[in-house]
Structure 1
Amino acid sequence: MNIFIGGAWPYANGSLHLGHISSLLSGDILARYYRAKGDEVLYVSGSDCNGTPISIRARQEGVTPREIANKFHREFCHCFEKLGFTYDLYTRTDDLHHHEIVQKIFQKLLANNKIYKKTVEQAYCSTCTQFLPDRYVEGTCPHCGKDARGDQCDECATILDPLDLLTKRCKICGDEPAGKDTEHFYWSEHTC
């Protein structure tokens, strides 16, 4: 039997900790089990080298996001080798082949009406002249009144929208962001 195991892709923005390893270990155990049974296994994963956590870390350290991603991808590979993980392929989201495959999938979904554009309001910092990912917005939780990030309040565990925060501020410059319309792609109802 052919078995495909797609492991989680950890953000390449900081060292792996026990929680990361415990969430990744189940894939390796499954791969070993099926290989021991004689099945053909393709066990893949990689470092998520894109995204807000990497950008935040890069800004904090005064380096490029690519430098952060490179550093932690190398560290992840070393850790997985030392721990004896048995990936058939461990890659990264910023590799050319990854971009090509994702673009092909995106184009196919778009052509088959599986995704659609929708205008939504998002936090925008006019000082930094950019839309702000949820983790770039901080403020006061409207539910408990404690400090919170734009994605969630760690104090009361409420999932938040950045624009719902009270006394919101841009994590980069400290100015107050405003709501501004922008287009995003969404899964159509019949896709999920």
Structure 2
Amino acid sequence: MNSKAIITSALPYANGEIHLGHVASTYLPADVTTRFLKQKGVEAYYICASDDFGTPILIQSEKEGKTPEEYVEYWNKRDAEDFAAFNIEFDFFYRTSSPENKEFVQYVFKKLENAGHIYENDIIQFYCNNDKKFLPDRYVIGICPYCKSEEQYSDLCEKCGRVPEEIENPHCSICGQPPVKEKTSHYFFKLKNFSEKLSQYLEENQNLQKDVKKYVQNWIKEGLTDWDITRDISWGIPVPIDGMNDKVFYGWFDNHLAYISSAVKFLNDNGKDGKKFWNES
């Protein structure tokens, strides 16, 4: 057994209450694992953080007349209190909007860009002339093209669970007006560059469920699609490129990196070499 371990669990999204399903399926198993490892003499730490970015948070904070910072600060504190009430003992509970994570995400982006894994490309996106803003993800509501349910998000139908190719009868979730389509420039991650390495990892890893492994392998064989990692919104980690002040990173690009940045901060603050400990865990 390794003498060091870092345990993580899904980052709670900072826009609502923790419920029993969250605790039972995600946070309690990780808490039990951490306690067990510590009892076995392993230097183990349970690290988590609130997931603070994304259009749902920005939309809800606007509706409540709060800044996004005020909104996520409330839910970060509320989540921490709820976890404590359940006796879930994080060694460190932080946030994806921390200065440490912002710095780390921008560092990772520049490393990927310098290695040739990032490129810029124009896309066509909904734009609201009334609110004078682009409308990514949940800023657009309409009819699901698959199940025909009304008032569904452009990035997910909550009725059938599918992601619409293009929502029908789209309208702005803020003002209700139909949007137009405009060109904007985004940055993409060359996910296909990693197809071979991912396939090799899956093939050699004996600890994964066979059905899960097969599913992902088939997904890779079908061809990975390059990933749009930026958004035209005001709330998020800024893209560190001159002239791109109106771009932020997509939440799914920055949030998983918070596991590393939060763990390293905690360990460094406690007199350890955070990077070394992470790599040895």
Tell whether the structures are fold-level matches, with TM greater than 0.5.
yes
Alpha-carbon distance, 1:78 to partner: 0.8
Opposite residue 2 of structure 1, the aligned amino acid is K
Distance 1:183 1:4, change over 3 A: farther
Q: 1:20 to 1:185 in 2, by over 3 A?
A: farther
Alpha carbons 2:27, 2:88 under 8 Å: kept: no
1:154 aligned onto 2:140: no
Within the candidate set 28, 34, 37, 1:34 is matched to: 37
Amino acid at match of 1:65: P
Gaps of 5+ in 2: 199-281
Relative to the length of structure 1, the TM-score reads 0.89
Percent of aligned pairs sharing the same letter: 35
Mark the runs of 5 or more structure 1 residues left unpaired by the alignment: none
AA aligned opposite 2:103 = E
Contact kept, 8 Å, 1:48 with 1:92, in 2: the verdict is yes
Aligned partner of 2:177 in structure 1 is 175
Of 9, 14, 18, the match for 2:11:
9
Match of 2:64 in 1: 61
Alpha-carbon distance in structure 2 between the residues aligned to 1:36 and 1:190 = 42
Q: Structure 1: how far apart are the matches of 2:50 and 2:28?
A: 15
For 1:115-130, list aligned pairs within 5 A: 115-130=118-133
Higher fraction of strand: 1
Deviates more, 1:167-176 or 1:146-155: 146-155
Deviation sequence 1:77-134 (CA, Å, 0-9, x none)? 1112222222222111122112112221221121112333232222221221111121
Given residue 57 of structure 1, which amino acid in structure 2 is its aligned partner?
Q
Cα distance in 2 between the residues matched to 1:185 and 1:26: 37
Contact 1:127 1:175 in 2 (8 A): yes
Cα shift at 1:170 = 0.3
- Mapped to 1, the partners of 2:126 and 2:28 lie a distance apart of 37
* TM-score in terms of structure 2 length: 0.63
1:20 corresponds, among 19, 22, 29, to: 22
User: How far has the Cα of 1:47 moved from its partner?
Assistant: 0.8
| C-alpha deviation, 1:3, in angstroms | 1.4
Root-mean-square deviation (Å): 1.8
Q: Larger % of helix: which?
A: 2
Contact 1:11 1:53 in 2 (8 A): no
Deviation of the 1:75 alpha carbon: 0.6
Q: Deviations over 1:141-192 (max 9, x none)?
A: 222322121122233332114xx11111000111111222223333222246
